[in-house]
Amino acid sequence: MLGDETGAAHMVDRRTLTLPLSAEDVSSLRAGDLVFLNGLLITGRDKVHKYLVEQRPPKADFPFDISGTVLYHCGPIMRKTEDGYSVVAAGPTTSIRVEMYEADVIREYGLRGIMGKGGMGEKTLKALQEAGCVYFHAIGGAAAYLADRINKVVTAWKLEEFGSTEAMWFFEVKDFPAIVTMDSLGNSMHKEIEKTSFRRFSELILSKGQGTGQKS
């Protein structure tokens, strides 16, 4: 089980990672590993990716060094407080929308992890291998649960320009659960599951005569 609150035992292969990740951390991770992230991560979705690829801002433009950290595909719900912002809900968004940008972003900014949901395509998988990076799958829709794993809203980048959904947030996380689904060796759980389900899909649509309407 992933959480303490569920009252169930942890899975034996639970692994805690501290951000930023090292090349060694990355090369030791395998698709299927359950991990808990600790430290400073950044968020970014459609607008951040488009901007990073089209404008290529230098690393010095960011409020903190982002090398080696994890870029989380997330457009959180934030609440403005007297002394800044607090996170209300912060689950992952669908990663495939930024497939056309991600490989360049990983290489340019030296990221060691991408986190989102639904997995990514061949271009990103290749970049993970070449640059030494992994894809973490967070649990989609579990936004209240995951918000509780964010200890601190450190700062934001491009908040005025992109708005709070699309801004790059800097979050300090504690025991943030995720599953490695694409590793730096070219393994992808998404590819495997799609292959297996396609085989079953083919059986399901071949097993029937044309338009007989009979049950399989």
Partner 1 sequence: MLKLRDGIVELYRKVATSLPPDIEDAVKAAHAQEADSSTAASTLAVIAENIKRARETFRPLCQDTGVPVFYVKVPVGLSHNELRSTILEATREATQKVPLRPNAVDVITEKNSGDNTGEGFPVIYFEETSGGTLTVDLMLKGAGSENAGQMYKLPLAEINAQRDLEGVRRCVLDAVQKAQGRGCPPYIIGVGIGATKDQVTRLAKEQLMRKLTDVNKAGELAELEQQLLGDINSLGIGPMGLGGKATALGVKIGVNHRHPASYFVDVSVGCWAMRRGRLIW
Scanning 18-26, 55-63, 121-129, 157-165 for contacts with partner 1 by CB under 8 A, the matching segment is: 157-165
Q: For residue 197, which phi and psi values (nearest 5 degrees)?
A: -70, -30
User: What's the one-letter identity of residue 146?
Assistant: L
| Binding-site string for partner 1 from residue 62 to residue 101, where x marks contact by CB under 8 A and - marks none | ------------xxxx-x--------xxxx-xx-x-----
Choice between 42 and 74, CB closer to partner 1? 74
190 catalytic? Reply is no
CA 138 to chain centre: 6
Q: What is the CA radius of gyration of the chain?
A: 19
Distance of closest approach, residue 194 Cβ to partner 1, in angstroms: 6
Choice between 47 and 152, CB closer to partner 1? 47
**Of 15, 27, 32, 65, which one interacts with partner 1 (CB under 8 A)?**
32
Write out the H or E segment, with its range, that includes residue 70.
strand 70-72
Tokens representing 76 are: 């959180």
d(CA 129, CA 144): 33
**Of 39, 57, 118, 121, which one interacts with partner 1 (CB under 8 A)?**
118
Residues with a known catalytic role: 49
